[in-house]
Structure 1
Amino acid sequence: MSFLKSRRRFLQTLAGASILTPLSLPGLARIAQASTTGQAKTKVVFFVVPDGLATDSFQGGFNQGLWFPKANALDTSDFILNEISQELADYRSQSLYLQGIILGLGNSGHNGWTEVLRDKNKQYSSIDVVLGNALLGTDPSQRSIFSGPHASDSTNWFVSWDGKNIRRPESDPKLLFENIFGSGNQVRAKAATNSKHLFDPIYSDIKLLRSKLSVTEKQKLDIHLDSVEQVVSDMEATIPTTAECNPLVVDENPIMSAEYRNNVQASHHQVVATTLSCGISRVATIQVGRSADQVVIKEVSINANPHDLAHRYKSEQEWIDCRKWYVRQAKLFLDELSRHADPDVPSDSLLDHTLVVLTSEMSDGAPEHQYNQPMLLVGGMSGRLKSGQGNGRYYNIQEYADRNHWKAGQQVDQQRIWATLAEAMGVSVPYDGNVSTVPNIFS
């Protein structure tokens, strides 16, 4: 039953045998344009960049870096964006900058990827999976899209988790596109409405096979068959997308090449935004590179990798430019969301009904700490994000802290931000410990 490890590939085989019926790409687009609901459905995207956002200065001054806005109050719309956060100036009016957050014990270095989107004890699913299981799009098999990093290797430092199992993202945006939309004349297989049960044609073979298996082997077989049935059930539950859907195939580029790094990242943005704009999924995670990123950013440095720059091994200007590049990717993704219409309220942009959460697996790259974590909530979110009534907002939440850190002072556990977001979306997190919500973030 090893062929079941690739569930979609198996289902494509069934489609070729006429057990499932494919839809054409043009047909999908026509169905997509058929109707809209008029009822806004909030989408959530987690945008995770590696190696921190320079919250400390190049000389090592704590909280004297280039990320957090400069403000004279703990909760205010009167603030000045810092040198790196200035990259997101175009979206200030829809932005909420949070300060006073700690991840884990605050000193796990590059191991922060194991918990950045999860609970403090690293026991349960990450927040993208929790939300994805509850906020379904038109295709239940695409509950939570996981895009990137294209800068991957054997370390597998990925930020999304299903329970205690790490999820593997699709590093190649072209393959991600094909996984979601299909390719050629087989866009996305859907069970034929007039077909019999999936296993009817091979029922006698399954029965014979079961008779030859031990109890344990039968259980394994049943698990595999149930897995196939669940995928088919998801596909049968797939409903037509409800807005303009224009799934343009992205270019194929070498994903590990520094030469094409910007192109590959832009393609990831395009695929995720298109998936959301088609209503296929409502939750996604974009991981840009990975912790200890090794792929050179050529416009920053032709020799030094981003990890070394984050650790301040090179010049201060390279350190600044490298951090700016990552934040600029978030800005470019917001641009992409702005270009698409919302699938349910097509008179609005996709960004009007999307929340983007920008964070990192650490706060600053040189000391590799996770206290005073960078956290930006940005986007229209259907009017539910309290972002300063159109002026943007800086909000220091230390007064709601769980604990006191020896250097950072009062800090709020990052899992409480996820609990607060989940509650705003009508979901609860399964996390242990303190999951009390932080007030006055969402309406």
Structure 2
Amino acid sequence: MSEATFRGGVHPYEGKELSSDLPIKTVMPTGEMVFPMGQHIGAPATPIVAKGDKVLVGQKIGEASGFISANICSSVSGTVKAVEPRMLLNGSKATCVVVENDGQYTGIEGLGEDRDYTKLSNDEIRDIVKEAGVVGMGGAGFPTNVKLAPKEPDKIDYILVNGAECEPYLTSDYRQMLECPEEIVGGLKVILKLFDKAKGLICIEDNKPEAIAKMEKMVQNENRIEVKVLKTKYPQGGERTLISAATGRKIYSAKLPADAGCIVDNISTVIAIYRAVCKCTPLITRVMTLTGDAFEKPVNVNVRIGCCHADLVAEGGGFKQEPAKIISGGPMMGFAMFDLNVPVTKTSSSILAMTTDEVALNEPTPCIRCGRCVSACPGNLVPQKMAQAVSHNDYDTFVSLNGMECYECGSCTYACPAKRPLTQLFKQARQHVAAQRRKK
């Protein structure tokens, strides 16, 4: 069993033992459901329902408003209460369709019916994925139908299923590999139908031996699919690092994975493709991990998109004590939540509740030029020099140091003994440079 990896990276405390052995629990929400129209990269969807309308499970309530956009489907049946701005995870407000859940979960006609993907044309498959509102569920939220339609499909050599789940604490992908491997392989076979020359690689870190064994058993008779074992290291699951580790190919910020002959999809996304194409079910649910030492009982939950984060806390037994910090996502690339009264979206992956805010305890000190940030950076950058440029508002130098190639993965910040907020600096600098470029 060979292990593939990339240059750089770090080994933070994993924390996965809190929830890795806990089966996925299905949660059926009650009351109000809130569906943001912007749950993806690109233009927000346009609401196509109004106050007072009756909706069904699987019904489209928001329509993609551009090439890079995605449909939004209701996860419950009920009555539209409002179409109005509501607070989102990042603290901003955006247009949402608010549905009063009737608790009946009445579905649209044909919801859940079996469908033979082998009898569908490639265009029909892409249209189904688009209609179902499937997007990248690993965090980016890129519309999947667009990803499955590269300019030169004949040049796609690899379909990479990202099962690395390198972010600490998160175990939702791991549990899905154990509990529904048939759907993962089924979704991958749907994608492979679109690309005749491609090979499917299910990429899993070596700290998940049970998942590796399960998936290897599932694909033992599949001549176009194999399991690729990766060395456990953060950020192994990043798109560029995954491509490098699994195929040896390189891409940069100006390129797409398709430019390197690759398409990368998260475990949850591949399952969503399977359900949309083979089970006539749009993207209306997702699996999340509720974990951290502040939770009484960490748990993995299958939740309906649109439910409230605050309502999920009880599924983890509530909090042992008031959390010092709550993070949406993992500790490396997630972001702090200041209010749990916000809806679950297609890209929500976890609620991480901690009794101690370690970041707040770390007082930054001057750089000692130790070079640890350079060794940790998976992008082969020099964070120390980049930070110096940003601190002087010298964005030209930041760009010349390839600062726009930063993954914002947090490896440099984690490795820094001076506890300098490097990733935060680079995130702000990249946003500034991008804004200036748009103006020009």
User: TM-score, structure 2 length as denominator?
Assistant: 0.28
**TM-score, normalisation: structure 1:** 0.28
| Larger gyration radius, structure 1 or structure 2 | 1
Q: Going by fraction, where is helix more abundant, 1 or 2? A: 1
Greater fraction strand:
2
Kindly indicate whether structure 1 or structure 2 has the higher relative contact order, using CA contacts under 8 Å at least 6 residues apart. 1
